[in-house]
Structure 1
């Protein structure tokens, strides 16, 4: 190491000229909660952040990207810190300096992607004629590499037209066993990259055996494929090239993210706080469901949802609720790094403002668990508020439930999802890749009626059997259905589930749905998964081309396009895709720093939006004022500017 002088002990991604303690306008040190120390709350008895446990916030002068030593090969295992934990773990000053030093990196990228980006740039600079530069790199990363925001970093290197990078070897998901603590909950990905347009090998875990003693690792076997490896870490149809379709816009979102477990209450506590006695409180203490409630058994919890009310309104109308939240929520929120979380402490961290209008006039809507071994879709009544672990699809027509429940969509979702666990089907359903680009079939009236009837029957069948057998879960039902399709013997506990769930009928319903959806697309029923994906990718491109000419096949036209106006050619990116119901607008800040902060928080909440859509979130905000702020955020790496002129958080 000393002789070669190419391994150094220093910050691998950031350099700066000076590090100074941050101070406020009065010269007092700016500090934050240390993220670790807690004290016992004198009323609730719960552990809350210790307001005295503070650490200094630093500013980094003249930050710039670290220059790495020249190396023929780069191998590494960079630190795993997810994007949402960067500020907590590294401090505001360091993270802001990091984003400033890497203006092209999306703010939502994990820390490991800064290493990946630098290694990819080095490999793309290899000179094949002289042999100078980095021949290839190999990095261990989190298995979230193929998730949307991390994938964008990979894609910009793979899709470069002048000096492309290729993945020569990739493993999507692999256990990481720490022999010191006996923990294999961490999952990793592995990639090897080199310059040029080349094929590679993709290894996918075929079997994985958990053992009591894993000091020497965990036995796994692989299924190997050869071919062009895409940024989705897949070989075959280039699903990552699919474009978002306006036809699906404004209809899907994750459920609410509480940022404070105290918002969840039992029915008994809800009654104690005034539910059933205080007029109007029934609108703000609602039934609550998370992923486990849907896949397994409901916990019977409720949630305090005060979205739309000011602090003074809550205090005046619901004083018992207000005092409860002061004790249960405010101490933790007071220490949060995000200004909006601190100042709006009585409201969920992410109340999902943009999907609420789409749900407002529906009696029911579709949900699916974001992380699941089996991909199933269900209707939820509108009185229920979905959690962040559920993906909301604001459609009440059962023909859409049937289409989403079909083999066609499940194949698409599985290919576009991100794997997070040891099971091949244990994947995350991502709005941006699984729903937004999915080209739904253009149904005739008879086809719609057929699928609508099948969707209603599927949803009713499962709920009827669960009502008759309260311990019967959807996960168990689909476990047995999977075994039935695989030709395995159904006996013991599985036979009990088969009988209780009437799994033979469930199988027949799915078979009918698969056949009806294939017919709606005009495709054969016996297509392989790869053939389905190829056709869907082609159809996505066809629909995107249609939309560019102004022809949009709205899923819910009365909501998405209430005026019925045909979109002008090339104007799809500028459309007002309506938030039809009124959204409470925030005042437009007067100072530039506050404006930048407000725009950034609005974009984070919306996920993806045009300058016009951001401007409509505020009173007296002009698009011409919002546009340069979004451009600045993109230049600083705190937003991504997309090809259609919109921006993503």
Structure 2
């Protein structure tokens, strides 16, 4: 069929929908050279006329044409309202498997609405005459055979980012003029809602846009007109010839218009060009908050947590159990309905229908009364996504119910189903707007009638208060709910006091004494509080986000309490996440009284999930959280010196000072030392030095070291005198945490072993005794090659990865959980080696151990010595380097590159070496592991021994030595 033939035929047709729709569609197929439904799919399984569906409005509903993965197509008679047809398609789109295109037609026009998830709606409207155009026919053909070609290029996320960014510019401009930030936030939220209301036709006839155009021409009139409009949105009434609905819900209780300059009005006019009906509330709240809150403005363009990540908690905690309940209830209803046959009397049939209806009503009542609490709700992302998910489930239940022929009930899930607690002023108010907008969007998308009088129901469920300490310094109550889902604030344990203040820190210590260690991260208090709510029967389950460091160290205490009183049933141990605009690594943990099989990292678990977020699902199960610190490892591993101030100086400056005389005749080498941090170990040494007045030097002695002391007076003292800790102020010239125990342990050693606190690979090196280790190094106070070899073994590396924590995706080594719990081979423990050494002829440093263990010690030491020698040769090839003695004796030589080898030497780092793992390195490590396995007495050890078997044996040794 040619376009002219098609147009001529359907221009004159006066047939009604029922008589004309199928013939019209077949003609469209002929026009586009596409097979008809019967030709393409004789079974009607994936392409057919009158696809069966049910509508929430009751009765049978039919998609006039349906093609799986392409479209749902609804017809109306000529000149009928195609908007109604589109609403119908929306209503039964879920039963049509949510096609990406929703198409309506009255035989004179065809309108294509895109419905791709996560994209802004596009609309294509074609009149009969438009079919003469090849481009129009091509678009229609894509709808049949390549619907992906019609996917809109603009995603809802991109639109939302653009909208939030522009609003942030307006908010910033208003604050720059001296307006209070909270006034700016409230006013901007009212403007935001005007933009949204206009685009969903709650404000009629582009009223807000017209008002801004008038204001741009006559700025002096805008304040009066805009004030009138906002007041009318609070109460309802007439604005000129337009009727304004009653919105309020609290958003328009307070009208305090801020002066708008012409540039502001221009910006608002630009904002009206965006499709506000399509913004994504689950991310808009975060982005809008950053624009409103001065403290977050720097993050405006930063990433946000995507909805899919949030749903990884909402799904197992909220939706999966409710779906399971509905499955059981639906089967019960089906069993009752199956008994209704024509042979049954009317009374019996009615009774059975009544029983089925009661079962349905029980489930709908359950949903209506279901409550989800987010006790750190921020700008409402979790609240909105949870509410949307509950509404989707209710909608699905209503569709299922209609298939049973049961009576429909009004939608009952509402913002009342979600509860929030939020401390931040901006976020608490914005959370309500996020939920309002999301609720209205959902209702419109599903063809549901909006609430009236008022349109915005008052949301009082977001409480503006602190969730873990109340105003009296006591533990606050949380609302009773069915479940908890939340992303509590991330703040490291060491930063709590400085950022939250002494009073708040002390309140936390007092309230949660014995429940949360004082050094734990802030997020741990939400975990403990949620656990308590479950233990008291106030909630059934919780799903919370934490940094992945919750798996180890003192943080893990809260998870150990959880697994003692309930169970972890769903978890992700180490996942990427966006927090305050920054990429971090997190653990997602769902716990409570659910009996569903456990899932860890998307894999089913046959047994339990342990507190370190590992499982006994493998052939060899071992809960390493049972490992304890061992006395024989005590007072050996230490964190390096923590400066608390600008004590660092360059090598060039330090060498100049080393040559200066002092009035008391003592050299500056007394208080100047080479300094290494974690990067010096894993990369190339940076030639850093540090001023170090030790742990006991008094100020009147320190001042005689003139140049170093003057530097500290200028660069350290001002900062330290403002420190909240009295001891840091009192001894401002000394390092804040000078590590007295570490210095004592290293005092008589010619060298010591160190590893980076945070590093991709668990690498150990020997360091010269003159080097002062920074806090980002963990120091082992031993000089012998045997201990070095044991620490660099596969066994210790596996143990440290499982027992340690992590910073982002990078493993972290700690003296307490990784070193002090590790079971060294018997006879070769830190207590057995005790720091005493003998130097062998080949240069090996051997620990003085009992004679029966000496052979094992020597075998390990020889391989470890060889490993260290080979690595040093690779790092600093003699052909490429020069050794330059320091300006004073007793300090290690400087190793510098020959000019022609600078670039090559810069690539020689331990990290690069272990990334490459050349064959010789693997071989020497295998030899080392073999020698250490012999020391353990593991005669059956091979390279194929599984990690779990190794860890199981080490745990057994740890537990034996605890007795």
Does the alignment pair 1:171 with 2:625?
no
> Corresponding residue for 2:495?
85
Does the alignment pair 1:295 with 2:677?
no
Does the alignment pair 1:244 with 2:662?
no
Equivalent residues in 2 for 1:167-566, closer than 5 Å: 167-177=568-578, 183-195=581-593, 200-203=598-601, 226-236=606-616, 237-260=622-645, 262-275=646-659, 277-278=661-662, 279-307=666-694, 308-315=696-703, 317-422=704-809, 426-443=810-827, 444-468=853-877, 470-471=905-906, 472-481=908-917, 503-523=918-938, 524-526=940-942, 527-545=945-963
State the alpha-carbon separation in 2 of the partners of residues 288 and 463 from structure 1: 19
> Corresponding residue for 2:465?
11
* Larger displacement relative to structure 2 (517-526 or 90-99): 90-99
- For residues 420 and 173 of structure 1, do their structure 2 counterparts lie closer, same or farther at Cα, with a shift above 3 Å needed? farther
Q: How far did residue 454 of structure 1 move?
A: 1.1
Tell whether the 8 Å contact from 1:78 to 1:140 is kept in structure 2 after alignment. yes
State the alpha-carbon separation in 2 of the partners of residues 344 and 184 from structure 1: 36
Q: How far did residue 223 of structure 1 move?
A: 6.4
Structure 1 residues 543-597: Cα deviation after superposition (integer angstroms, max 9, x where no partner): 121xxxxxxxxxxxxxxxxxxxxxxxxxxxxxxxxxxxxxxxxxxxxxxxxxxxx
Which one has the bigger helix percentage?
2
- For residues 275 and 244 of structure 1, do their structure 2 counterparts lie closer, same or farther at Cα, with a shift above 3 Å needed? farther
Tell whether the 8 Å contact from 1:514 to 1:525 is kept in structure 2 after alignment. no
State the alpha-carbon separation in 2 of the partners of residues 140 and 10 from structure 1: 21
Tell whether the 8 Å contact from 1:177 to 1:186 is kept in structure 2 after alignment. yes
- For residues 436 and 319 of structure 1, do their structure 2 counterparts lie closer, same or farther at Cα, with a shift above 3 Å needed? same
State the alpha-carbon separation in 2 of the partners of residues 296 and 226 from structure 1: 43
State the alpha-carbon separation in 1 of the partners of residues 597 and 872 from structure 2: 47
Tell whether the 8 Å contact from 1:83 to 1:111 is kept in structure 2 after alignment. yes
- For residues 69 and 544 of structure 1, do their structure 2 counterparts lie closer, same or farther at Cα, with a shift above 3 Å needed? same
State the alpha-carbon separation in 1 of the partners of residues 750 and 606 from structure 2: 48
Tell whether the 8 Å contact from 2:798 to 2:947 is kept in structure 1 after alignment. yes
State the alpha-carbon separation in 1 of the partners of residues 790 and 937 from structure 2: 14
State the alpha-carbon separation in 2 of the partners of residues 199 and 509 from structure 1: 44
Tell whether the 8 Å contact from 1:202 to 1:226 is kept in structure 2 after alignment. no
* Larger displacement relative to structure 2 (319-328 or 187-196): 187-196
Tell whether the 8 Å contact from 2:745 to 2:781 is kept in structure 1 after alignment. yes
State the alpha-carbon separation in 1 of the partners of residues 660 and 874 from structure 2: 31
Matched pairs, number? 444
Q: How far did residue 467 of structure 1 move?
A: 1.5
State the alpha-carbon separation in 2 of the partners of residues 521 and 186 from structure 1: 38
Q: How far did residue 226 of structure 1 move?
A: 4.9
Q: How far did residue 473 of structure 1 move?
A: 0.5
State the alpha-carbon separation in 2 of the partners of residues 380 and 442 from structure 1: 26
> Corresponding residue for 1:150?
555
- For residues 329 and 224 of structure 1, do their structure 2 counterparts lie closer, same or farther at Cα, with a shift above 3 Å needed? farther
Q: How far did residue 157 of structure 1 move?
A: 3.1
- For residues 454 and 15 of structure 1, do their structure 2 counterparts lie closer, same or farther at Cα, with a shift above 3 Å needed? closer
Structure 1: segments with no counterpart, 5+ residues: 18-61, 127-132, 204-221, 482-502, 546-649
Q: Please give the TM-score of this superposition, normalised by the length of structure 1.
A: 0.65
Q: How far did residue 416 of structure 1 move?
A: 0.8
Other structure's SS at 2:727 match: helix
Tell whether the 8 Å contact from 2:489 to 2:523 is kept in structure 1 after alignment. yes
Does the alignment pair 1:75 with 2:485?
yes
Other structure's SS at 1:257 match: coil
Q: How far did residue 83 of structure 1 move?
A: 2.0
Structure 2: segments with no counterpart, 5+ residues: 1-413, 420-460, 617-621, 828-852, 881-904
Equivalent residues in 2 for 1:41-190, closer than 5 Å: 62-104=472-514, 105-126=516-537, 133-159=538-564, 164-177=565-578, 183-190=581-588
State the alpha-carbon separation in 1 of the partners of residues 470 and 936 from structure 2: 57
Q: How far did residue 382 of structure 1 move?
A: 0.4
> Corresponding residue for 1:57?
none
State the alpha-carbon separation in 1 of the partners of residues 626 and 577 from structure 2: 30
> Corresponding residue for 1:602?
none
Q: How far did residue 516 of structure 1 move?
A: 0.8
State the alpha-carbon separation in 2 of the partners of residues 272 and 348 from structure 1: 22
> Corresponding residue for 2:174?
none
> Corresponding residue for 1:636?
none
State the alpha-carbon separation in 2 of the partners of residues 197 and 143 from structure 1: 25
Q: How far did residue 149 of structure 1 move?
A: 1.4
RMSD (Å) for aligned C-alpha atoms: 2.1
Tell whether the 8 Å contact from 2:676 to 2:688 is kept in structure 1 after alignment. yes
Q: How far did residue 274 of structure 1 move?
A: 4.1
Tell whether the 8 Å contact from 1:255 to 1:386 is kept in structure 2 after alignment. yes
Q: How far did residue 87 of structure 1 move?
A: 2.8
Tell whether the 8 Å contact from 1:13 to 1:114 is kept in structure 2 after alignment. no
State the alpha-carbon separation in 1 of the partners of residues 783 and 590 from structure 2: 45
- Select the structure of larger CA radius of gyration: 2
Tell whether the 8 Å contact from 1:253 to 1:355 is kept in structure 2 after alignment. yes
- For residues 3 and 415 of structure 1, do their structure 2 counterparts lie closer, same or farther at Cα, with a shift above 3 Å needed? closer
Q: How far did residue 107 of structure 1 move?
A: 1.2
> Corresponding residue for 2:153?
none
State the alpha-carbon separation in 2 of the partners of residues 75 and 172 from structure 1: 17
Structure 1 residues 42-100: Cα deviation after superposition (integer angstroms, max 9, x where no partner): xxxxxxxxxxxxxxxxxxxx421011111111111111222222233222222222332
- For residues 275 and 68 of structure 1, do their structure 2 counterparts lie closer, same or farther at Cα, with a shift above 3 Å needed? farther
Q: How far did residue 16 of structure 1 move?
A: 4.6
Tell whether the 8 Å contact from 1:416 to 1:434 is kept in structure 2 after alignment. yes
Other structure's SS at 2:578 match: strand
Q: Which has the higher contact order (CA 8 A, sep 6+)?
A: 1
State the alpha-carbon separation in 2 of the partners of residues 199 and 454 from structure 1: 47
State the alpha-carbon separation in 2 of the partners of residues 420 and 86 from structure 1: 17
Tell whether the 8 Å contact from 1:256 to 1:348 is kept in structure 2 after alignment. yes
Structure 1 residues 375-411: Cα deviation after superposition (integer angstroms, max 9, x where no partner): 1211111011111111100011101111111111111
Q: How far did residue 475 of structure 1 move?
A: 0.5
State the alpha-carbon separation in 2 of the partners of residues 196 and 380 from structure 1: 52
Other structure's SS at 2:673 match: strand
- For residues 342 and 224 of structure 1, do their structure 2 counterparts lie closer, same or farther at Cα, with a shift above 3 Å needed? farther
- For residues 108 and 322 of structure 1, do their structure 2 counterparts lie closer, same or farther at Cα, with a shift above 3 Å needed? same
State the alpha-carbon separation in 2 of the partners of residues 242 and 125 from structure 1: 29
> Corresponding residue for 1:584?
none
State the alpha-carbon separation in 2 of the partners of residues 5 and 508 from structure 1: 59
State the alpha-carbon separation in 2 of the partners of residues 533 and 87 from structure 1: 37
State the alpha-carbon separation in 2 of the partners of residues 110 and 277 from structure 1: 47
- For residues 198 and 252 of structure 1, do their structure 2 counterparts lie closer, same or farther at Cα, with a shift above 3 Å needed? farther
Structure 1 residues 433-478: Cα deviation after superposition (integer angstroms, max 9, x where no partner): 1100111002521111111111111112111221115321110110
State the alpha-carbon separation in 2 of the partners of residues 289 and 429 from structure 1: 17
State the alpha-carbon separation in 2 of the partners of residues 275 and 196 from structure 1: 71
Q: Please give the TM-score of this superposition, normalised by the length of structure 2.
A: 0.44
Q: How far did residue 188 of structure 1 move?
A: 2.0
State the alpha-carbon separation in 1 of the partners of residues 678 and 476 from structure 2: 42
